[in-house]
Structure 1
């Protein structure tokens, strides 16, 4: 009986040590921060259906041991992003996906202000030696072709200036697929979020190290 109890307690101790080791390893995993607005936050979805969660799964399945942090806040503009940037820098991430600008455009903010904010955001991350992946978005057709073209080009100019990879349009090849966009016509469904993660992955992997 004593031997059985001893064996039981030894198994419990070993299990506890194993869990502790896993927790320490997870705590020391480098971070990928998905820094954005409602698209990143997963507006209208269960938290498990936002694209950063799918990105976490995709990285792990390829042997990349990173912890993906969802730093998306619905309604955020590029100005809000600058206000939140110190907290992101404080995480000392291994890489940051920047997804902002859509709310600026929908609210009709001057493009030069949005571009300046976006450039400052990317520039400060790069000055901290943090690799950045810039994700762009476009605007509904009723905003006019000229304004939309200038809005789209804004992302290209920022990416070129700071030499960061760019996914020009998060919804490229997604928006017209059935079941990928919520009824509001703006935010992705779980299916859409999964596809966004798949589109970001090839641009993100070169910024990371496989262990």
Structure 2
């Protein structure tokens, strides 16, 4: 397992505080992207304007027609708490695309994989019933969780993306996790200068969902 990622997951993502939730999307936006994630999407310990979701919003605002991103991520979020919050978020922001970046904290807590899958599937179903397109952002766990759990986690994202016909990024930190210079001193989160690389990992799978 990647050294940097192993440290990140072993130490955990269970950090307090609320991520930067964006204001309501401008009325001129054709597409609104709602990001529901944990500290990896909540710009932890870096300026909000450096986070990949903020950078995404800047990119979307330059599109023609305009689009917008709403960051509803919270540090420490689990799939269950995200599932519980999602209906109100959809009612408030009426997104056209939902990005789900959850699962790391479930793994750290040893949540049974069927429960994690059920929570993710429920969020996808709620969104798709409202004609909202979905993108899953996958995470990885360290080797000490064993191949059965780690492989099972990967399989959940891949299977849900296939059966529910969602977009999929297999590993959000693929482009930065191996480079210590790209990670904060805590070994948990990307530094500000690495956030554009995180966005570049997400963008190829997100862009096709922006009709």
Q: TM-score surpassing 0.5?
A: yes
Say whether residues 1:168 and 2:170 are aligned partners. Answer: yes
What secondary structure is seen at the aligned counterpart in 1 of 2:189?
A: coil
Q: 83, 102, 105: which one pairs with 2:104?
A: 102
TM norm structure 1: 0.82
Distance between the aligned counterparts of 2:97 and 2:83, measured in 1? 17
Aligned 8 A contact 2:176 2:190 in 1: no
Which has the higher relative contact order, 1 or 2, with Cα contacts under 8 A spaced 6 or more apart?
2
More helix per residue:
1
For structure 2, which runs of at least 5 residues remain unmatched after alignment? 1-24
CA RMSD, Structure 1 to Structure 2 (Å)? 1.7
Structure of higher CA gyration radius? 1
Distance between the aligned counterparts of 1:64 and 1:174, measured in 2? 31
Distance between the aligned counterparts of 2:42 and 2:158, measured in 1? 24
Distance between the aligned counterparts of 2:161 and 2:168, measured in 1? 6
Shift of the 190–93 alpha-carbon distance from structure 1 to 2, 3 Å rule, reads same
Shift of the 81–110 alpha-carbon distance from structure 1 to 2, 3 Å rule, reads same
User: What does residue 43 of structure 1 align with?
Assistant: 44
**Any residues of structure 2 matched to 1:131-142 within 5 Å, and which?**
131-142=133-144
Distance between the aligned counterparts of 1:74 and 1:131, measured in 2? 24
TM norm structure 2: 0.82
**Any residues of structure 2 matched to 1:17-56 within 5 Å, and which?**
26-29=26-29, 30-56=31-57
